[in-house]
Amino acid sequence: QRDSSLYHSSDRINQGFCWFVTSVVSCCPAELKHEVNGKKETLKGFNVKLQDTILFPEGGGQPDDHGLIGDVAVLRVTRQGPDAVHFVGSALEVGQEVQVRVDWERRFDHMQQHSGQHLITALADTMFGYKTTSWELGRQRSSIELDTASMKPAQLKELEEAVNEKIRAHVPVTVQLLSIDDPAVEKVRSRGLPDDHAGPIRIIDIDGVDANMCCGTHVSNLSHLQVIKLLGTEKGKKNKTNLIFLAGNRVLKYAEKSYSTERSLVSLLKTGPDEHVEAVDKLQKSAKLLQKTNLSLLRDMAVLIAQNFKNDPERGNFFSLHKKEGDNEFMNIIANEINTEETLVFLTVGEEKGPGLFLLAGPGGAVSELGPRVLELLQGKGAGKNGRFQGKANSLAGRGEVEALLREHSQRRSSGEE
């Protein structure tokens, strides 16, 4: 807020400036909508404004800081004009002096990714003329949208070598605060200011590399980035390319995770890392062949099951079968082989007490009458026409009840009650 350079300097925070004393200006009831394990939830809490803050409000492609006000967790920080609004779970007394602490691990990760983006953006422009149109700091990886339809692998390699050379060169990163009418503002890279901007213009200057308007948090020297890995590119929207990258500690975590995955694959595939792709390719081809053979056997089995029923002199006018392995084709082959104009057929495939598929086939009137009831007992979804009713069952645990219902109906038909 008053001193936006507090957001910037990793050196100051490392030397003990990870906390900050200020006072509460306002505290109002509020709600926060967020996702927990993919589910949207609404939290009740309070929006707090402070006299000043070291917690960065989300903006400029960068997520917000987390931290503590006293012993109260700050769950979200947003910007309203020149003010940062902190969402907390407990009320704070207006006027009280409080200590603000930043979640340093999250802050430093964001600093590495954001400064890394500035460096990549600057060199992609200088080396290839590819302008950055937007970027996203993701939870696991970040992406830069470049104004080019494609990027060659050789260019990607050259760019990665160049950014890491700048990191090894120990290039300083400084913050400048300029008035909006300062002529120097016209010389810096910018995608424009927000409509509600107030105060001086903040410039992030990577010495000899780039000067860019930015409100975000940054390292004070490129050496603090440690390393940048360009993972590759993905096709973007409207003839643009998304460049995927990791910076700093994320590269180390990625390497650790990749090595752990590699060791697991060595154990599972019984081959060295260089042979993993070939081994998986062989397994996939074998699996496809086995699946094809299995389907052929299931079709043959379906025909034999139906013929065995038809050749039984004591068969009635009701046939029921459950098989764990199978699909709609398996069930339809059986129904096609049996004369369903005279016989009521009920077939299911899947877990015995879990979800699965079902097929009810038989005389049109009986199927139309019984289908909805079968659907209800199996807690399923489906539809029927021309003497067949089939669909998905959420639970085959009700199969016994369905059999009893259909058997009773068939017995009534046999005795001439219907």
| Model pLDDT, residue 13 | 44
Cβ-in-10-Å burial (0-12, 13-18, 19+) of 405 comes to: middle
| Model pLDDT, residue 315 | 83
Q: Which residue do the tokens 């950014």 mark?
A: 163
| Model pLDDT, residue 4 | 42
| Distance between CA atoms of residues 28 and 127, nearest Å | 50
Q: Both tokens of residue 111? A: 């600093």
Q: CA nearest 179: which of 192, 195, 198, 194? A: 198
What's the DSSP call for residue 55?
S
Decide if domain 8-102 falls under CATH 2.40.30.130. yes
| Distance between CA atoms of residues 136 and 61, nearest Å | 5
Q: Which residue do the tokens 């056997």 mark?
A: 297
Q: CB under 8 Å to 371, separation ≥6 — which residues?
A: 360, 382, 384, 389
| Model pLDDT, residue 341 | 85
Where b means 16+ CB within 10 Å and e means fewer, 288-302 reads: eeeeeeeeeebeebb
CATH topology assigned to domain 108-257? Threonyl-tRNA Synthetase; Chain A, domain 2 (3.30.980)
Q: CA nearest 346: which of 327, 373, 313, 374? A: 374
Cβ-in-10-Å burial (0-12, 13-18, 19+) of 366 comes to: buried
**Which string of DSSP letters, residue by residue, matches 232-256?**
EEEE-SSS-EEEEEEETHHHHHHHH
Where b means 16+ CB within 10 Å and e means fewer, 227-242 reads: bbbbbebeebeeebbb
CATH topology assigned to domain 292-415? Diaminopimelate Epimerase; Chain A, domain 1 (3.10.310)
* In the chain, domain spans: 8-102, 108-257, 292-415
pLDDT in tens for each of the 418 residues of the chain?
A: 334 444 443 434 443 347 889 999 999 999 998 887 778 889 999 999 999 999 999 887 899 999 999 999 999 999 888 889 999 999 999 999 999 999 999 999 999 999 999 999 999 999 999 999 999 999 999 999 999 999 999 999 999 999 999 999 999 999 998 888 788 777 777 666 666 666 788 899 999 999 988 889 999 999 999 999 999 999 999 899 999 999 999 999 999 999 999 999 999 999 999 999 999 999 999 999 998 998 899 889 999 999 999 898 888 889 999 999 889 999 999 999 998 788 999 999 999 889 999 999 999 888 999 999 999 999 999 998 889 999 999 999 999 999 999 998 888 877 665 5
| Model pLDDT, residue 130 | 97
| Distance between CA atoms of residues 62 and 119, nearest Å | 15
Strand 388-393 relative to strand 356-361, pairing: antiparallel
